[in-house]
Amino acid sequence: MSASEEFVPVGKISGAFGVKGWVKVFSFTDPKQNILSYSPLYILRKGEWLELKVSGGRIQGKGIVMGIDGVTDPDQALPLIGCELAITRQQMKPTRQDEFYWSQLIGLTVINLDDQQLGTVDNLLETGAHDVLVVQDKENKTERLIPFVLEQIVQEVDLDNKHIRVDWELDY
């Protein structure tokens, strides 16, 4: 299994915090404090995923701060800034029917009801009302933003065959 398949990014270290070597974390989880419930976490250092033991954590202002075993002062925390944090796929909680992790959707081919290929999901955006698929069509060098609204726009998500069928025209 490749590293991109085995590890799912859940956050990024964004700064040092305090005198005890804690770090600020930008969490990709929803709600953001869920990142603190994963044990172990993995950190990407020099191209390699290493297990990381969290010694504590909490919401601090609008962000998350956490302590890491073995990191006891800010000088040890500074080289970690910018490092990605991840979990393994096995650590992900199962989803209910019609629920998906963003990481499951990225890379899927998007086709419309006429079997026309619209591109592949590059990433997703959170708009408040609903998530939006960012679909890249490399052949035509275009990008489409397609609302991820089940049954209205998104007709089918087929993880086994790696495609999403949408009610969306090529010229939208």
Q: Tens-digit pLDDT profile for the chain (172 aa)?
A: 344 458 999 999 999 999 999 999 999 888 899 999 998 999 999 999 999 999 999 999 989 999 999 999 999 999 999 999 999 988 988 888 888 888 889 999 999 999 999 999 999 998 888 999 999 999 989 999 999 999 999 999 999 999 999 999 988 8
pLDDT for 40:
93
Whichever domain contains 63, its CATH number is 2.40.30.60
Same domain, 70 and 17: yes
Q: Residue 50's beta-bridge partner residues?
A: 43
Which amino acid would we find at residue 34?
Answer: N
Q: Which domain, by its residues, includes 140?
A: 102-166
Torsion region of 18: left, alpha or beta (phi above 0 gives left; psi -120 to 50 gives alpha) = left
